[in-house]
Amino acid sequence: MAAVRTSSEIGFNRVAIVAVLLVTIIFLAPIYWIASTAFKPRNLATTIPPTVVFQPEISPFVKLFTKRSQLRNPASPEEYAAAPWWERVVFDGGEKIVRDGKGQVQWSGYPSRFMNSLIVAITSTVLAVGMGTFTAYGFSRFRVKGEADLLFFILSTRMLPPVVVAIPMFLMYRAVGLNDSHLGLIILYTAFNLSFSVWLMKGFMDEIPKEYEEAALVDGYTRMEAFFKIVLPEAATGIAATAVFCFITAWNEYAFALIMTSRRAQTAPPFIPSQIGSGLPDWTVIAAGTFLFLLPVAIFTFLLRNHLLRGMSFGAIRK
């Protein structure tokens, strides 16, 4: 490659950099907003104009994880001195942490909701990607009768907004006792992601030369062994990309979670806004909950970033 660049190329590069920066700022601004609010003192959360420079606080997170009640009188100096640091920040906000008879700190609903989110999202992702991979392999490698129709049928499940079927689903779920259960949500999200997973994985499977497996078959391996030894490692990129998309969908799902769950199996998305409550909402706590909620997806995506980048450009680089 020649190192010489024309001035118009440099000019174009500058414009491109500015455009990328602008888009990045637009995308990251809400995330910055949530992240900064999560560390703000309560009285600075809703100031106009927004407070940009402040002393970060951990109190929103303490409040997020605990049950609290209003203090009628400010905490006495003795109480204050006896309390651990994380309780003092609650006192500062005019509240105290609720304890049971044995003095055990009472947790808020957030940790269990967060756990529910993890269980439901991970399980449904594993199921959707697993089944999708097998299905896609079948469609890709074997002559399936009515393949085009079947694939269209699978895709058609995504053709109307899922909320349309929410009421009938709710009634059916209630009839079979699946509402407010992990299993119910897992089935729902798996079904919802499966069509996407099949289509995406079919694209990836089609890209893997079938000669690899055929060589293995001729070498004395069964179809199953060839699949696990040869196809699966080759499909890793596709599986990672599909898993990220399925995980994000399941993790962020709000409408069904709101309708189908109430306590036991409620996930974080419907729980967080429910904390706005009836009185003055504590936006810092809600921001803290949202901020933590963003982390798993960020971590998951970060871990798979190499696969993802390859996955995104997979179809683009053809032989």
- Judged by CB under 8 A, the stretch of 40-48, 88-96, 176-184, 227-235 that binds another protein is 227-235
- Judged by CB under 8 A, the stretch of 70-78, 87-95, 196-204, 230-238 that binds another protein is 230-238
Instruction: Determine, following the binding rule CB under 8 A, whether residue 209 of this chain makes contact with another protein.
Output: yes
Measured in whole angstroms, the distance separating CA 311 from the mean position of its chain's CA atoms is 19
Within 232-261, which residues bind another protein (CB under 8 A)?
233-234
Angle at 96 between CA 92 and CA 97, to 5 degrees: 125
Instruction: Determine, following the binding rule CB under 8 A, whether residue 11 of this chain makes contact with another protein.
Output: no
- Judged by CB under 8 A, the stretch of 153-161, 168-176, 214-222, 302-310 that binds another protein is 214-222
Instruction: Determine, following the binding rule CB under 8 A, whether residue 286 of this chain makes contact with another protein.
Output: no
Rounded to the nearest whole angstrom, what is the least distance from the CB of residue 233 to another protein in the complex?
A: 5
User: Among residues 25, 18, 50, which one has the least CA distance to residue 37?
Assistant: 50
Paired with 68 in beta bridges are: 97
- Judged by CB under 8 A, the stretch of 59-67, 79-87, 88-96, 217-225 that binds another protein is 217-225
Instruction: Determine, following the binding rule CB under 8 A, whether residue 306 of this chain makes contact with another protein.
Output: no
Rounded to the nearest whole angstrom, what is the least distance from the CB of residue 147 to another protein in the complex?
A: 12
Could you tell me the two tokens for 134?
């097998």
Nearer to another protein, 149 or 214 (CB): 214
Paired with 69 in beta bridges are: 96
Rounded to the nearest whole angstrom, what is the least distance from the CB of residue 107 to another protein in the complex?
A: 46
* Cβ count within 10 A of residue 284: 25
Measured between alpha carbons, how far is 207 from 238 in angstroms, rounded to an integer?
A: 10
Rounded to the nearest whole angstrom, what is the least distance from the CB of residue 180 to another protein in the complex?
A: 45
* Cβ count within 10 A of residue 83: 16
Rounded to the nearest whole angstrom, what is the least distance from the CB of residue 221 to another protein in the complex?
A: 5
Instruction: Determine, following the binding rule CB under 8 A, whether residue 215 of this chain makes contact with another protein.
Output: yes
Tokens 């606080």 found at: 57
Angle at 71 between CA 66 and CA 72, to 5 degrees: 155
DSSP letter for each residue of 48-86: SSPP-S----SHHHHHHHB-EEE-SSPPPHHHHHHS-HH
Amino acid letter at 129?
Answer: V
Residues that bind another protein in the complex, under the rule CB under 8 A: 209, 211-212, 214-222, 225, 230, 233-234
